Chain A
């Protein structure tokens, strides 16, 4: 497997592949255990003063429209198609999702919306089958239960929230429902570390409208700080100033939780930690038994290859890149959608998104005063928080007004019927910019037999290696659910006293062009047994026990929430298992 030209480096205990959210968490946890840890990150070093200081971080064209902080398709992209009968073509320009590259990964330019999944989300198959009958799950829907419960993950959710200083209001403290929080959430062992973000006008109107309909709106749990915070590692964050250049931007203000603002100042000072940037891992190497990873091979910016031996390999490269590296390294059986066998690439899922535009004639909302996770949410229609009988779908999503900062290239809404250009367009933009908002619905996507990831037969990256191929479309379940959520959102818009609304239903097949979310899930899922899953509950490879895979690739299907809270909780859960079990007796933590 190792090319002859690669220089062999001295062995270390742990190699982390990728240095974003999960890489930083694993680095911190495993160095605490005394292990020598090396992180390899394909992109450059990135810090607040150098890459996104407040002197130029607020540049919409540069950072969002010209993609400065994101992965470069010229270097690596993937091919996409809606169904197996089509020919996949490369995503030549980023669109639907924006994977990160460089230190901090997508954790630099995320919004900070920090969620826990519902207890029932961990039992997607058994819970729905029990409540609605086995027939509620169509044969093509390949959803699975998680091999662990919400309760097992709770302490690990808590660790991430306290690392980040998440601003929020608990809705369920040890089983007791709390006013002002999300009454549907699973029990929390303690309150959020910081109080919720103060709310601007549009979220306030949304909450009032939702209350009129009898819902229980609550503040979006936020990785943007509502006040100064010192985390358990001693790292400090400053209060968010509502600059509004947050999602898709780095924070110049040390106010958004990211690897840089929560972990790196401590981790980089540890003598048993080293980071190598501009070091891209090409393969995970295994020995002849194919049951042990021997390390990784990587290439540096000068094109030189190195073999880095390690006792433990942890993939932290983001869901899509994790799957591609497994496939390129020949680890695990590739998923075959015809027979439904194999595990690598199985159960790829995403997020389904729709919006309702809300226009007022008589209210100035100042929508540019925003932050990535500033807003009010209702959760009445998420997961199984409502009775789905007769609705023809399972799952759900949240409905909110998130005032993230109306940067004008992206946000210049006009009511239905306005032309796309000319004086009438200009007048409508001038009239509505300050007086409009929108209500997104953020829905779950189930997994299906024919939605999967594999290697593309035609297209190659800069090193001549096959690109990842994504075969994905929304199912009937997602369309029904999203339409249902859109109608509920429109009712709230009306209850807000809107002058005009536009319902933007999610119609047709998944399209790679408009940005939706960077919530790609599945492909290296956790499960109960090696036939159905790539990983056990500790995110450990069934086949190669000294390989662990972090990230949303572990999700058997996607829930109605943003992923990172659960991604981080699974990372802490895995780190805990490595520290307390694996190191004592290296080997499978769950018998196959």
Chain B
């Protein structure tokens, strides 16, 4: 189950190589640090146009742009979700995905046969089918109030979607939207640290002792990400 870099193997004398041997000192190799995986630039790689339209419309309702500033769209949340679904998260690489698939109790957690990527595909299709049946239009084409109503019903579990659990999908979408709004910008969301600036989170800092005892005062430094700040690399 190795991930990322591993060290060269030192054979134990006289035997086949039994695992990776670490002895004598702590191994270190130049360039062996597990690299930060920056999100790639450019357009959608996972979403098809109708899916992108749904996600853009939905996240704009979940975290709207308003008098406090930009929301999920301005933070590039749809792009963040696209990249997440295209990678290990979307493919449930780390998750236990072997059957049989039982009927869970309320406390047994995620028991959906679909990976997050498959779940998004299936749920968006089912949501647009319901929306078209009810309103004659896909979700993205509804006005904002209707979209809010739809999302509220989805959240409450009162809509039956074809073949997918709508309430569970809503939970996943909201979680991923919040992730994309507040994550480090290297992952493609939280563009220009919009989420962090909104709340006053100073980001990936490594030394904060100087302000521990500054009770009741606003933190004096602007946020910084793992890749620094945009203006640093201009």
Contacts and interface: CB of A to CB of B under 8 A. Distances in A.
A459 to B, nearest CB: 7
A93 B109 CA distance: 8
Interface string B43-86: 00000000000000000011110101001000000000000000
A434 B211 CA distance: 14
A268 B96 contact: no
Contact of B6 (A82, A200, A278): A278
Contact of B28 (A50, A87, A101, A512): A50
A433 B199 contact: yes
A87 B3 CA distance: 33
A276 B105 contact: no
Given A242-B212, A412-B178, A72 B33 contact: no
A56 B36 contact: yes
Given A58-B204, A72-B94, A460-B98, A408 B195 contact: yes
B196 A59 contact: no
Nearest to B151: A421
B206 interface: yes
Contacts of B96: 73-74, 77, 90-93
Looking at chain B, what size class is its interface with the partner chain?
35 or more
B206 A58 contact: yes
B214 interface: yes
B213 A89 contact: no
Contacts of B15: 7, 9-10
A277 B201 contact: no
Interface stretch (B126-134, B158-166, B182-190): B182-190
Contacts of A512: 107-109
Given A408-B196, A426-B71, A429-B198, A51 B34 contact: yes
Interface in B194-230: 195-196, 198-209, 211-219, 226
Contact of A253 (B88, B206, B212): B206
A252 B206 contact: yes
B2 A368 contact: no
Contacts of B155: 420
Contact of B23 (A49, A54, A89, A274): A274
A174 B204 CA distance: 43
Interface stretch (A211-219, A296-304, A391-399, A495-503): A296-304
B211 A366 contact: yes
A131 interface: no
Given A89-B102, A92-B96, A512-B109, A59 B226 contact: yes
Interface in A67-112: 67-68, 72-75, 77, 80-82, 86-87, 89-93, 95, 101, 103
Contacts of B97: 74, 92
A47 B26 CA distance: 8
Interface in A39-57: 40, 42-45, 47, 49-51, 53-56
B4 interface: yes
B1 A269 contact: no
B109 to A, nearest CB: 4
Contact of B211 (A369, A427, A513): A369
Contact of A409 (B62, B104, B183, B212): B183
Contacts of A277: 6, 19-20, 22
A511 to B, nearest CB: 4
A275 interface: yes
Nearest to B14: A10
B204 A276 contact: no
Contact of B199 (A77, A243, A434): A434
Contact of A9 (B12, B32, B63, B213): B12
B234 interface: no
Contacts of A101: 1
Interface string B159-184: 00000000000000010011100111
A510 B107 contact: yes
B232 interface: no
A66 B89 contact: yes
A303 B226 CA distance: 37
A304 B23 CA distance: 21
A189 interface: no
A364 interface: yes
B33 A49 contact: yes
Contacts of A51: 4, 33-34
Residue picked from B106, B155, B174, B204, most chain A C-beta under 10 Å? B204
B143 interface: no
Contacts of A253: 206
Nearest to B20: A277
Given A9-B18, A408-B182, A268 B206 contact: no
Contacts of B107: 82, 508-513
Interface string B1-43: 1111111000010111111111111111000111011000000
Contact of A61 (B12, B33, B102, B187): B187
Contact of A89 (B108, B174, B177, B211): B108
A273 interface: yes
A426 B33 CA distance: 37
Interface in A404-429: 406-409, 412, 420-423, 425-427, 429
A47 B25 CA distance: 12
Given A58-B226, A204-B215, A269-B24, A73 B95 contact: yes
Closest 10 CB pairs of A and B: A279-B19, A276-B19, A433-B199, A58-B204, A73-B96, A408-B182, A511-B107, A300-B19, A61-B183, A275-B22
24 contacts: A9-B12, A9-B15, A44-B3, A55-B36, A58-B205, A60-B184, A61-B184, A74-B96, A82-B107, A90-B96, A93-B96, A200-B212, A201-B216, A269-B24, A277-B22, A300-B19, A308-B18, A366-B211, A366-B214, A409-B182, A420-B155, A421-B63, A433-B200, A434-B200
